[in-house]
Structure 1
């Protein structure tokens, strides 16, 4: 399958991956034949990229750090938790703990897989996918820096709940009404959750140069976990249409995060991050320096910018299919991503 912009989808194309609602239920199922109405609905609810089936790439599988089933479970529990907060009710901390335990189990098994972060975002599910993505990336960074299982759980809970203070906020975020302070107070009130998780919510918008918010802390006073979540949060915001306006392509977002290393973001943590995330997610259409176009079909851990690209082209009335492993072809580069 291919990962394409919704504007290039045509009626009759078949969906390559299921799209879920904010509650974790199926919105459009894998393999459904898309109609004009469905395509227009996807655009209306904010979808910009989708997976489409393609006979030349039917064998291409998206290797995920976390399974679809677990993602649905986490999104469903987060939806219930956020709805409780909006209604002024207490949220169930046991659900948070169980969700994080399941996430950690899968991430530990698949820790050598590059995070793809290409799930389909809608206006309805984007806040939950953002929290989930930040959690996954933060744990992968935490593993790289040598955190133990208990430390990873505190980090994962804080990452998953880092934006909980946004729930129910209306109007301008100022002073103690800023979502970082509100998140800190909400999590701090839960004795079952480590205070470190509350400090992640409070500090994830602080910057090494002291120009962050809400307290303008310098590098020495920002907790390691908050520094990790800041890297993951920055990247996921950049690749989302819902937080930074027009979404950046992952490889461009990686460059942007790299540019912030040493000033706003921790330099060493950025290096660890760049080893965990795919700059060109599987299914992405690319143009190579050879003037050929192809689709990314495989990844290399440690070399996220040098994937395997399958080229399908017509030569002398014959269909030629070949694969270029950019890790083994150092003179071939990806020049651009095709819409």
Structure 2
């Protein structure tokens, strides 16, 4: 499969990964042959990137930390939870807990797989995909931080629901700016659920705080911010940098990680950031790249611990029209670098 910009997709190509709606229902299934109407519809609903099947990359497997079944369940649960909050009704903490258990099981089974945030987003499902990604990355970082199973579940629930305050309606105009912020409102929603850990509620409260004391809503210093919130802050920022297109296209993974490294110790916790860099794929499998050798190819493999040194497959045609295929492992070819990601 190849990960491409929708503007380069042509009718007749085959979809490489299923596209889901906000409630987990399938919009387009993997393997469907794309038509002009389908491509235009995907553009209209906000899809910018997607996977396309490519015969020359048929053997390339895109590894996921979380299964498609679990993703559907999480998105469905998020839809139901947000709908309940939006309408002023109670939401089921029991079903949230069961959904988190399935997600934790998937992550623990695939904890050596590097994170690639390449699930196809639409305007409809973006909030839920964001919550899923932040939760998944937070759990992986929590594992690297040495958290136990109970702590991982507290972290996961807080991460999945870190933005519930964006749904809560403000009806009291007398509230000050701090209590009108979504972090405060999210904290109030979650702390009212006695079945949930208060630490999960503090994730919603503190995930916009910063080690330099310049965060919101309370301007806490580094030692006042809970570890869970420090973890979620990193995951939340990374996902936002990749997919917030309000000021143009989102950043590419290597651009986002470079920016985040510059925030180490000030906007982001240094130790958490180091653990984050161990779990993320800077050049996702399926991405087209140009190497420092001027050759172009597709990323087909990863090395955990060496996120900037993937395996790249280069396909060239010789003078006789015969295709020459070679793979360049950048972990071994230390003088070759990725020069550009081709969109």
Same fold by TM-score greater than 0.5:
yes
**Aligned mates of 1:118, 1:169 — CA distance in 2:** 31
Q: Residue 107 of structure 1 aligns with which residue? A: 107
Q: Of 316, 319, 325, which aligns to 1:321?
A: 325
1:36 aligns with 2:40: no
Task: Trace 1:1-339 onto structure 2 (pairs within 5 A).
Answer: 1-169=1-169, 174-241=177-244, 245-316=248-319, 317-339=321-343
Q: Gaps spanning 5+ residues in structure 1: where?
A: none
**Aligned mates of 1:115, 1:170 — CA distance in 2:** 36
Give the 4+ runs in structure 1 shifted more than 3 A.
168-174, 241-245
**Aligned mates of 1:166, 1:242 — CA distance in 2:** 19
Q: Gaps spanning 5+ residues in structure 2: where?
A: none
Q: Report deviation, 1:238.
A: 0.3
Equivalences, count: 339
Question: How has the CA–CA distance of structure 1 residues 157 and 245 changed in structure 2, closer, same or farther, with 3 Å as cutoff?
Answer: farther
Q: Report deviation, 1:192.
A: 0.5
**Aligned mates of 1:242, 1:79 — CA distance in 2:** 23
Structure 1, 218-227 or 164-173: larger mean CA deviation: 164-173
**Aligned mates of 1:25, 1:137 — CA distance in 2:** 23
**Aligned mates of 1:190, 1:242 — CA distance in 2:** 34
- Superposition RMSD in Å: 1.5
Query: Residue deviations 1:78-134, cap 9 Å, x none?
Result: 111111111111111011101111111111111111011110011111101101101
**Aligned mates of 2:248, 2:262 — CA distance in 1:** 20
Query: Residue deviations 1:268-298, cap 9 Å, x none?
Result: 1111100001001110000101111111111
Q: Report deviation, 1:246.
A: 2.3
Question: How has the CA–CA distance of structure 1 residues 153 and 104 changed in structure 2, closer, same or farther, with 3 Å as cutoff?
Answer: same
Question: How has the CA–CA distance of structure 1 residues 82 and 117 changed in structure 2, closer, same or farther, with 3 Å as cutoff?
Answer: same
**Aligned mates of 2:244, 2:210 — CA distance in 1:** 23
Secondary structure of the structure 1 residue equivalent to 2:279: coil
